[in-house]
Structure 1
């Protein structure tokens, strides 16, 4: 989400994201886009990246609050760049929210541990990768015992690219923390990609482009067993 509008995230170059054009919604206002996603399937989770807040600008808190009011049954995974207790506590004021802590804005592993301890079950970690590089504290990969129960494998260059999921990082993260739920994010095109992500170790997936473009349909989702799919709104 950027400037109150849902944008098409593509390749991780946030400066050039443009308003979303979707087969599911007339326009790119957040409420209409979420309604469109829910017309495909009654997703239980919606991932929201507040790109303005992540970049240090004014947040889209009003739009997020509106989504929370309109869709009280949706669990919201929200990444707004929060990396300390104050920011996370404010974000978790939404009843069904979980705070996504992006590694690219995280200051230290200790900070992650403290936020997770203060808010059990409501903090997620997004491991943000650009190619083979982890963005953020490098010792995150050496301390999987410090990770929360759910970790997103976020391959930024693959977001919106239709290049397929990064099976390498999904598998590596799962091997480091076998008991952790890994959510695949970036590049998923169709049900074959969902199956491949599950085989690599993902127990969930964040999908946006494939839904908006119509390459992943309701029937496809029904055929995929054992991999919950959360819709994504950037």
Structure 2
């Protein structure tokens, strides 16, 4: 079971995400780092546990304001050996071009919320499935993206995130039914659950639903998932 910490970045600062309402995100306050510099937070997370992966959402890129220049490179320099899952709002065509020169350890994330139509779907189909991660984005009960991408698992890469934005930072628990349904649809693909994970019990429930991993943020900052929990999860929930 992979536990993947999340850093959301807006205007160069790490912010606290809640329910996908990005306009209300504020600079983070956390016991894991002083201030809200994304690199300082990443180092604080790594001090808590030797996470093999880190998910970074560049909210400025996702919302079309322009990416936080140099963010991924700074994180890679600070965290050698950690795979960075980077969502910068890049289209499949942009990702295809970037993969040709991508630094080792960078894995782009394509979020369905930025897919516009048939051309993007065709470009998604052409991407090397082992080179990127797809985020199936849900806003409330609605899927955000071309319906074909949700319905046709043949379009999915080897790793897929089920992103329930309304659950993010809510403390309401994950959407187990949705995750289980998409695990079944995905077959051998590794499905990661994002949104609502509160504690070790939620992680156990998601493992039981077939998830290969979880994305977490608030539970780490609020200490409802501790270093001891992470050690136990690493040993107990192997997938």
TM-score (norm 2): 0.89
Structure 1 unaligned blocks of 5 or more: 229-234
Post-superposition offset of 1:115: 4.3
Deviations 1:172-198 (A, max 9, x none): 101111211100101111100000111
C-alpha root-mean-square deviation of aligned residues, in Å?
Answer: 1.8
Task: Give the secondary-structure state (helix, strand or coil) at the position aligned to 1:210.
Answer: helix
Post-superposition offset of 1:109: 6.5
Aligned positions of 1:13-24 closer than 5 A: 13-24=21-32
Q: Distance in 1 between matches of 2:25 and 2:238?
A: 28
What is aligned with 1:232? Answer: none
Q: Distance in 2 between matches of 1:121 and 1:200?
A: 23
What is aligned with 1:226? Answer: 237
Which stretch shifts more, 96-105 or 64-73? Answer: 64-73
Is 2:128 the partner of 1:119? Answer: yes
Count of aligned pairs between the two proteins: 228
What is aligned with 1:31? Answer: 39
Q: Distance in 1 between matches of 2:190 and 2:119?
A: 21
* Match 2:178 to one of 169, 180, 183: 169
Judged with a 3 Å threshold, the aligned counterparts in structure 2 of structure 1 residues 14 and 227 are, in CA distance, closer, same or farther, namely: farther
Q: Distance in 2 between matches of 1:64 and 1:40?
A: 21
Which stretch shifts more, 189-198 or 63-72? Answer: 63-72
Post-superposition offset of 1:119: 3.5
Q: Distance in 1 between matches of 2:51 and 2:143?
A: 29
Asked if the contact 1:204/1:227 (under 8 Å) is kept, the reply is: no
Judged with a 3 Å threshold, the aligned counterparts in structure 2 of structure 1 residues 72 and 190 are, in CA distance, closer, same or farther, namely: same
Task: Give the secondary-structure state (helix, strand or coil) at the position aligned to 1:104.
Answer: helix
Asked if the contact 1:82/1:88 (under 8 Å) is kept, the reply is: no
